[in-house]
Structure formats: C-alpha cells, structure tokens
Amino acid sequence: MTIRDWPATERPREKLQQQGSAALSDAELLAILLGTGNRKADVLTLCRELLTSFDGLGGLLTASAERLMKHAGIGPARVNQLHVVLELSRRYLKWQLTRSEGFTEPKMVRDYLTTQLRHQPREVFAILLLDSQHRLIHYQELFSGTINAAPVYPREVLKQVMQYNAAAVILAHNHPSGVAEPSQADQRVTERLKKALALVDVMLLDHFIVGSGDPVSFAERGLL
C-alpha cells in the first residue's frame, strides 16, 4: 500500500491542508519536505527511520552531509534541502531578534543560540552585539578551540563592540560534552569580559552555555 492508498486524514499533505502544520508530527512534516521515499520504503517510513537514526529532528538537521548520505534514500539534493531548512530557521530567529520585541522572549534567544552552537563539534565562543534598545545588531563567532576549550581574548571582543557601535553584549559558547554547567574557567572569563566592557560603557547582559539540554544563563544563575 502506498501513501496514495491511505485514508485522506492520514496522508501528510491532506492532513496539512485540513488541520494545519501544527497538527503534523516531525515525520509527517519531513515527509512533505522530501516528497518521496526510496525503493524499500514510502516517504513517511523513510522519515521515521531518519528521525530514529539521527536521534530526532535536531540531530538530522545538524548532521554532516557525509553522515546523511550514508543513509539509503539521502543524496546531495536532499542534504541540501535539510540544510536549507536549518539555515531558514536560523535566519528567522535572527530576524526576530533584530526587532524590538525579540528580547522580551528569552526562549527565542536560547533557540537562536542552540541552532548556532549545539551542532558544533568543538567549543566555539560567540557574541551577540545589541543596540541601545537591546535589539540584535550582529552575531559573531569569535573563537574556536579543542573539543573542550576555546581561548578568549577580551581585546577581540572589544574590537567587535567598537566596530558595530554596540551598547550591550550577550556572550555564548557551547560545551560539546553536552553538559552545560558553568566551569570556574567560564566564570573567570565572564568576569574579565564584564570588566573590559565596562571600561567602554557597554553592558554585559548575559552569558549562555549551550549543551544538550536547555542553555544555561549566567544571569539567571546570579553569576553576573
């Protein structure tokens, strides 16, 4: 039995038209994106297999092209489709953060930083440069390092602040181990950068650590 033989209420495209995108599962949404299956499975079965193999939608969208193409039914064109979806989500979140209401939703900041940093195989240190109304001006990944460390230089952070005339900054980095708890080194770096930014009258609003769960906020932990 092919998808065409299924009841209309169970076919992803018809379900989308009748009930809206929120009613669809991850596999059903992915099936609409990919369109067809492979010789061994219909598209919905293929998508369920992909989500299982890659530990969910996040793992699938951030997987490397090489790893994706090891799965039957995934070639260069489909790799491009998946990577475009991730990039669109990043750009949508960035667009939201450039608007005045962006920072009224802390979850939006977390989501944006998660899409930028969670998939990185090594530790990456980034900054969000904000204007006087705390709208996003620019996101910049400044430093990268080994799997568990990235050197951070305050002068480079200050160069970016001055270049974009930022009024406030949010720091962020990932922990590839998946554990987002702040280390003593993380706290020392944060304090150094806070003092350096204060010299040019720029406020440090927060520092987020991205791991496998929800990003940890220094401000919420009382560490700023």
High-pLDDT (> 90) share of the chain, % = 46
pLDDT average, residue stretch 28-57: 89
What integer pLDDT is reported at residue 155 of this predicted model? 92
Per-residue model confidence as pLDDT tens digits over 144-200: 886 566 788 899 999 999 999 999 999 999 998 888 899 898 999 999 999 999 999
Cβ-contact 37, 45 below 8 angstroms: yes
pLDDT at 1 over 50: no
Q: Which helix (H) or strand (E) holds 25?
A: none
Region label for 66, one of left (φ > 0), alpha (ψ between -120 and 50) or beta (otherwise): alpha
